[in-house]
Chains A and B, each alone.
Chain A
């Protein structure tokens, strides 16, 4: 059973470009979470999605960031017009449900560098 998959693992963008980060949850998991880890910081919650629904996006910056989890295919975190402050590791996690005892399984992360 493959774990949570994220691609690309490393992404380099110039200021003003768009970044698309993909996450495929574990088989059987329909709940996806995105977290961001800035340098020297802990992971911070960004958004929680179920298939075709954004459940909680309270941690997402108000502008330039969007997320989706379509009926088919991976979840996508999209950052438009990237700035240097967007450089971070972005982790996706998935779970089979939202009971607190349902462990969130994390992917290896995408390291975004904005030049």
Chain B
């Protein structure tokens, strides 16, 4: 039972263009969402988060959009750079109760071509 789904295992974009990574969730108790970036042989690194009271959060080149009615979020990276090439994980948590317990998707491998 996968509660957080990243349906695209991989994505390839050209340097300078926009990268859009998508994530869907099924558990309506989730109200806090995070994106992590992971390089090979390293642990995940926090990138950006969004609370369910917002529909957009921006940090530099990274913007996360949340559509609660569709239970969908997306991460936009603009402009994409070769150093952005990594696996991106979407994660979700619930503020009430076990808010420390992150539920991860399977990840999307982003490749940014020079």
A interface residue numbers (CB < 8 A to B):
4, 9, 31, 33, 35, 40-45, 48, 56, 58-59, 91, 93, 95, 98-101, 103-109
Contact = CB atoms under 8 A, between A and B. Distances in A.
B43 A109 contact: yes
B106 A42 contact: yes
B101 A104 contact: no
Contact of A43 (B41, B98, B104): B104
Interface of A is mostly: loop
Given A40-B106, A42-B106, A105-B46, A98 B100 contact: yes
Contact of A106 (B45, B95, B99): B45
A100 B99 contact: yes
B62 interface: no
Interface of B is mostly: loop
B46 A42 contact: no
Interface string B43-83: 11110010000000000000000000000000000000000
B95 A100 contact: yes
B103 A45 contact: yes
Contacts of B103: 45
B70 to A, nearest CB: 21
Contacts of A45: 101-103
Contacts of A103: 46, 49
B100 A41 contact: no
B89 interface: yes
B43 A91 contact: yes
Interface in B81-114: 89, 91, 93, 95, 98-107
A40 B9 CA distance: 9
Nearest to B90: A42
Contacts of B101: 45, 48, 56, 58-59
A4 B104 contact: no
13 contacts: A31-B100, A42-B107, A43-B89, A43-B102, A43-B104, A45-B102, A91-B44, A99-B99, A100-B100, A103-B46, A104-B102, A106-B45, A108-B41
A5 to B, nearest CB: 11
